[in-house]
Amino acid sequence: DHHRSRALCDGDINVSFEFFPPKTEKMEKTLWSSIGTLCPLHPNFVSVTYGAGGSTRERTHSTIERVLNETDLKPAAHLTCVGTKKEEIDEIIRDYWEIGVRHMVALRGDAPDGVGAPYEPTPGGYVNAADLVAGIKRIAPFEVHVAAYPEKHPQSPTVEADIDNLQAKIDAGADAAITQFFFDNEVFYRYMEKVRARGITIPITPGIIPIHNFKQVANFATRSGTYVPEWLGQRFEGLENHPVTQNLVAAAVAAEQVLELVDQGITDFHFYTLNRAELVYAICHLLGLRPTAAEQEKQAEVVS
Ligand code: FAD
């Protein structure tokens, strides 16, 4: 446990959090309460997703703007190539730079008919994530993250072809990658071995999804080609009507996953928060992350 004790005690752990732009006022309250809870853990950055086909364009923008204006967090804006011409995308990118955003997550996105449908580039648009990365870098020196797939993208014929595509994104200027979520750490280790063997050296941060709702997450997993080990399903079996226990189990499962990664020398984690703070806060706590004394006092005031 050499890595674990060193990493957890010396403050070597870095985290980032992903949020999605809220649709309703109630969801907006939930998001900002979650940001309030997670902010004192000092994430490297927080990212805000971009809805399919640009459906959340304004909401992504206003969430990013509010993060900039009301917190000292560094926002990363997701952007996809779907359904928008280059000139319009370029305008979005320039606008982000002008308001002070310095970090983007560049994605292709999916066909409007759903994740499984064959993808056709939008006429006049960026053709894929690599093309978008190049477009962003032409406009301004943003830090750019891209997606990586330890279990390969469902539309990639092989893991090798998928790593070729990651290489293309790096050649276009990508600085770092965040992985699709996975539950079997072996999958991640094997992927990293292959990626490093190919001479790819950029940081690749594992994406971790806490299981707030097993059925929902298993459903996401099926669509994204993520392997759901049988033992994982068994752990949540019969807890449908036990939300508190389900959450305790989810925290235990995620803690086991990240601590095992720490033992293997991983120190950076990206959390898919689904805009909820509790599980992520618990996992980060186990990773040794703490608010400062002053922040704890402030939180205590809010709670009491
Ligand atoms: P790309 O890297 O462009 O590649 C996708 C697939 O196409 C790969 O299989 C690749 O091999 C293949 N491919 C690419 N170029 C070519 C080519 N020239 N010829 C042949 N094959 C090619 N979606 C959203 O809508 N909004 C979000 O905010 C969002 N955030 C995400 C964040 C993360 C960390 C991750 C992992 C995914 C996110 N997604 C998001 C989902 C993402 O848009 C989908 O997974 C999409 O299907 C692929 O996007 P990509 O950027 O990986 O595409």
Element at 179 (helix H, strand E): strand 176-181
pLDDT at 54 over 90: no
| CA 233 to ligand 1 center in whole angstroms | 27
State what percent of residues in the chain have pLDDT above 90. 84
Ligand 1 pocket residues where CB is under 6 Å: 49-50, 52, 78, 80, 105, 107-110, 128-129, 147, 153, 155-156, 161-162, 165, 169, 178, 180, 207
pLDDT score, position 65: 97
Q: List residues with catalytic annotation.
A: 18
pLDDT score, position 25: 96
pLDDT score, position 205: 98
Ligand 1 atom nearest the C-alpha of 180 is 36
Ligand 1 atom nearest the C-alpha of 177 is 34
Average pLDDT over residues 97-125: 90
Look up residue 253 and give its two tokens.
């499962």
Residue nearest to ligand 1 atom 17, measured at CA = 128
> pLDDT tens across 159-176, in order?
999 999 999 999 999 999
- Alpha-helical (H) ranges within the chain are 2-10, 25-38, 57-70, 86-99, 129-139, 159-171, 185-197, 214-224, 230-236, 243-263, 278-286, 293-303
pTM of the model: 0.95
Among 113, 153, 205, 269, residue to substitute to test ligand 1 (most atoms within 8 Å of Cβ):
153
ipTM: 0.97
pLDDT score, position 182: 97
| CA 288 to ligand 1 center in whole angstroms | 33
Ligand 1 atom nearest the C-alpha of 181 is 36
Q: What is the CA radius of gyration of the chain?
A: 19
Ligand 1 atom nearest the C-alpha of 145 is 34
pLDDT band at 117 (very low <50, low <70, confident <90, very high): confident
Side-chain-side CA neighbours of 281 within 13 Å: the count stands at 14
DSSP letter at 221 equals H
pLDDT band at 11 (very low <50, low <70, confident <90, very high): confident
Better-predicted residue by pLDDT, 114 or 283: 283
Q: What CA–CA distance (Å, rounded) separates 57 from 205?
A: 26
| CA 170 to ligand 1 center in whole angstroms | 14
Look up residue 29 and give its two tokens.
């309250």
Average pLDDT over residues 129-150: 98
Which residues contact residue 155 at a Cβ distance below 8 angstroms, ignoring those fewer than 6 apart? 118, 119
Look up residue 89 and give its two tokens.
């995308």
Element at 148 (helix H, strand E): strand 143-148
pLDDT band at 115 (very low <50, low <70, confident <90, very high): low
pLDDT at 256 over 80: yes
| CA 230 to ligand 1 center in whole angstroms | 27
